[in-house]
Structure 1
């Protein structure tokens, strides 16, 4: 499990990104459960995620952050990355971010991908 705990902050909202190997929906659920064992992540406002399986099946969860899972999936698709779940965590800071929230999700996924590639 790769966790980047403090990727960025904007108007009080804070973002983190995590990821790791996942081969099916059960692995994805287990990953999220393990992540939320950390009190900090369990108390997050959103844990949005995406995963593309080796057979091309796309799985995602917005966790209340509408559209965030699809942003993650599109980035994984462009990267050609399969069997790796990516979770973008947000702690809401009290101010709406509008479209900036999608740019922040992208920035988090980019940070994860850079670290993930560096580990290969």
Structure 2
């Protein structure tokens, strides 16, 4: 179960790195606008907010990476529990306020990884 926890957590961390890149660097580009369903004028007006969101996603990825480096079943486990909990809360809040899709893209993978971490 520990290997499953490591793999799922690493995938969640990589997902948040991907979101960081989309929000910080591609928000106004075709790739970012397509990923988030944005019109060019709205993307341009909201790019500073998106960069801020991207930075927060980077912090989530960094916390998960730190926990993995410390060891999923050892000293890193509390870090993983905390940051995966943050991922889940962010996903639930995003689903409630922005798009239901976020529940499945962010919160569900975070919950699966958290369950694996707790069971390892």
- What TM-score does the superposition give when structure 1 sets the normalisation length? 0.25
TM-score (norm 2): 0.25
By percentage of residues, which structure has more strand?
Answer: 1
Please state which structure has a larger fraction of its residues in helix.
2
